[in-house]
Amino acid sequence: MIDAYFIRHGMAKVNEQHGYYGGRSNASPLNEVGVHQSIVHGLDIARHGLMPDVVIASPAVRTRDTATLALQAAGVDLNLLIEPRFQEVSQGSWEGQLRKKCMTRNMERRAVRLGDRFKAPGGESNREVRNRVLEAVHEEIEPLNIPGQTSTVFVYGHAYASKLLYAHLAGWDFTHMRSQDIPHTSMTQLRFDDHDWLPGVFGRMAYELDLESEAS
């Protein structure tokens, strides 16, 4: 069995830009709040016994720094593996631009018509993001399964990409998915039961976790 926890990075400089498309913004560092959140997250996972066997991060500075600070605080000495397929959605030429300037009424109608195939100019669609994240889960995490044992994997990643993955497995529609929040440094659990991936807890801080799946 595998318990995979998808952990959103701490607050970053890009998150301070309200009303703008952030997208990947891989060079954006943590801000002071994000540094504090990452350290507290690390202390919490140690206090509650949530110790990983494998740790993966997207290439973004904010995810790598969150993982490094958390692991140091938790006293965990593991190599950090980098997996590009866990990156945040690319918003193409819209990144750094005002949302209301980009998402015009005509563009909104186009988004409704195309559904999960809609994407910003030069960016990715929800379908493309979901498929690459699923591919990484199957190829990089699933092989870690050892029948009769539980392996714990931490993936330090991003809110939107993680929500797309969870929504797919939980059967959520787009409207419900968009209404769900993943706070900074919260943990979203997926469990591999030797056959299938099942959704577990969603968007919980480490101190809130009881390791019991919420899937029904």
Q: How confident is the model at residue 195 (pLDDT cuts 50, 70, 90)?
A: confident
pLDDT of 216 strictly over 50: no
Contact (Cβ atoms closer than 8 angstroms) between residue 188 and residue 6: yes
Q: What is the per-residue burial (b if ≥16 Cβ within 10 Å, else e) of 162-197?
A: bbbbbbbbbebeeeebeeeebebbbbbbbbbeeeeb
pLDDT of 97 strictly over 50: yes
pLDDT of 210 strictly over 60: no
pLDDT of 213 strictly over 70: no
Domains, the chain, in order of start with CATH, read: 2-208 (3.40.50.1240)
Q: What is the pLDDT of residues 24-69, one digit of tens each?
A: 999 999 999 999 999 999 999 999 999 999 999 999 999 999 999 9
Q: What is the pLDDT of residues 142-190, one digit of tens each?
A: 999 998 899 999 999 999 999 999 999 999 998 899 899 999 999 999 9
pTM above 0.75, yes or no: yes
pLDDT of 194 strictly over 90: no
